Amino acid sequence: MHVTPRPPTIPGLTLAGPLGQGGFGTVFLARQDRLHRDVAVKVDNRVLQTDRDRDRFLREARAAARLSGHPHVVNVYDAGVTADGRPYIVMELCTGGSLADVLAQRGRLPTDEVIEMGARLADALAQAHHVGILHRDIKPANILVNAFGAVKLADFGLAAILDAHAESTVTVGALSPYYAAPEVFAHAAPSAAGDIYSLAATLYTLAAGTRPRDIPWPAQSLDGLIAALRSPVAPIADAPPALNAALLNALAADSSRRTTNAAYLRDELDGLRPIRPLPRVSSNRARAVRIAAAVLAVPVLLAAGYFGRSLTKQDTTQAQSGGPQTTSEAPQAAAVPPGMAACADSAKNGFCVADKCFGGLVNIADVDIKARPTDCAEDHSWQAFAGTWLPKEASDMTGTDIAALPEVKGICTAEVMAARTVAGATTTGWQIEILPSETGSPDRPYLYCLARPEDGEPKGSVFTTG
């Protein structure tokens, strides 16, 4: 017989009936007496036995509260422990339910909707990881929808209770098996890679209507469980190829091959959002036909799951100081491409670039490559070490064809990168990618040579214009 849990007594709150109930806790509707504000209170069923456990929970709750300002993280108002030792968190009331409710009501969601919410949630996760906070239990039920339709990650602080007693059996018993990363079943410590997997599994489920892997749980045999955890994930049949690539990279069974940073996943999804500026349409209609055909039939995925190239028309306010120029005058007016500088070896190794950094690269069909400029002092994925002008016809070329141009092959190299690396730093083994652009030079394309470490992300700016 189902028994409705009785709300505990919490000073300053008047608790009403339960809003929802899970295996380890109950969420109650409550009223903050002093502020006359409706809130949600999540009360865990388990009792924290020691002062150490209570202190640890409160530390996690305080850390979670630091994320409350993010628009896609549920605001935490208070936390504490009831008189009988059960931890609780007071948080904003999200009247739209959870994404598990949305999935049950609507079934699979349109891919453009999943891309939009995925980019926002990945940004929230990236911010959490940046300040050292792991979620540990991302799943549709832990993503809430507020009264305005915004999706929000919930349960950051409370997730830590799952292993509060440092017992791996507690963690495995409490996990959400269909969304947990494979390494968790081997009692691996919680990690950012595990959070990335869980978010990708959630987004995949929303877009496909089915979970990425069919995990037998409770497991009847170890062999069966291992086989399921290692099984390949099928692409979503009618999803954009770039969305499938982003999700499948983040769902790699081997954590060392998985998307390594939530910011990378955010940038990949962000590049697929329809609110992005449209590519410039050439006067030659053949290019438009070729782009359409390539998007439909010939997607090319580059560089360990990341995408790279943008001939997209971007903000040109950096250029043409002193008034507009005619198209015939623009190439002659600029001796060097925007954002670059002439240096002693420019004739041989291209122009120098310093303090030019970008987020993740997004490639659609090898003809539309985008990258978001970022401050090198902030988190970033790529840094530019060299650059060069491109021939005008490069506007109608694929990224692969541009990379094969002699002027590009000669400068986007490990040797040039090493020569441009500041003293005391090392870029040995860094990956190299190209980024064509027309930003600030609408009539003449140019190119950045980008690089990043094989693992992790660059720190600060390591290239010089000397």
pLDDT tens digits, residue range 14-38? 998 888 776 677 889 999 999 999 9
pLDDT given at position 363 = 62
Residue 208 to residue 166: CA distance in whole angstroms: 36
Reported as a single tens digit per residue, the pLDDT across 367-389 is 677 777 888 888 788 899 999 99
Q: What is the pLDDT of residue 443?
A: 83
pLDDT digits (tens, 9 = 90+) for 232-265: 999 999 999 999 999 999 999 998 899 989 999 9
In whole angstroms, what separates CA 444 from the centre of its chain?
32
> What would the pLDDT profile of 324-373 be if each residue is shown by its tens digit?
333 333 333 358 898 888 888 888 889 998 788 887 777 665 667 777 78
Tell me the pLDDT tens digit for each residue of 116-173: 999 999 999 999 888 888 888 899 999 999 888 899 998 775 554 434 433 433 344 4
Q: How far apart are CA 281 and CA 437, in angstroms?
A: 15
Q: Is 444 a catalytic residue?
A: no
What is the mean predicted confidence (pLDDT) over 39-66?
Answer: 84
Task: Please tell me which residue, 404 or 5, carries the higher pLDDT value.
Answer: 404
pLDDT digits (tens, 9 = 90+) for 389-446: 999 888 888 888 899 999 899 999 999 999 999 888 889 889 899 999 888 888 889 9
| Whole-number pLDDT of residue 278 | 34
| 3-state SS, one letter per residue, for 180-226 | CCHHHHHCCCCCHHHHHHHHHHHHHHHHHCCCCCCCCCCCCCHHHHH
Q: For residues 184 and 170, what is the distance between their CA atoms, to the nearest angstrom?
A: 12
Confidence of residue 215 (pLDDT cuts 50, 70, 90): confident
| Residue 199 banded pLDDT, cuts 50, 70, 90 | very high
Of all residues in the chain, the percent with pLDDT exceeding 90 is 33
Phi-psi region of 244 (alpha: psi -120 to 50; beta: other; left: phi over 0): alpha
What is the rounded average pLDDT of the residues 280-297? 38
Q: Quickly state the pLDDT bin for 58 (edges 50, 70, 90).
A: confident
Q: How far apart are CA 310 and CA 402, in angstroms?
A: 12
- Of 310 and 60, the one with more pLDDT: 60
- Residue 81 bridge partners (DSSP): 87
User: How much is the pLDDT for 366?
Assistant: 66
Alpha helices in 271-316 (DSSP H): 285-297
User: In this model, does residue 266 exceed pLDDT 90?
Assistant: yes
Q: At what angle do helices 99-106 and 192-208 cross, to 10 degrees?
A: 20
Domain 13-269, CATH: 1.10.510.10
Token pair of 11, please?
């000073």
Q: Is the pLDDT of residue 268 over 50?
A: yes
Residue 195 has pLDDT above 50, yes or no: yes
Helical (H) or strand (E) element with 332? helix 330-333
Residue 110: per-residue pLDDT: 94
Q: 411 Cβ partners below 8 Å, 6+ apart? A: 349, 350, 386, 387, 388, 449
* Mean pLDDT, residues 74-95 taken together: 90
Check: CB of residue 198 under 8 Å from CB of residue 213: no
pLDDT of residue 466: 56
| Non-local CB neighbours of 109 within 8 Å, separated by 6+ positions | 102, 103, 206, 207
* pLDDT score at 442: 80
Lowest mean per-residue pLDDT among 56-60, 144-148, 194-198, 381-385: 56-60
Domain coordinates of the chain in residue numbers?
13-269, 279-315+334-452
Could you list the residues known to form a binding site for ATP, using ranges: 42
Per-residue model confidence (pLDDT) at position 108: 93
The active-site residue out of 56, 86, 120, 136 is 136
Residue 449 has what pLDDT? 93
Of 65-74, 222-231, 279-288, which has the strongest mean pLDDT? Answer: 65-74
Q: What is the mean pLDDT of residues 442-461?
A: 84
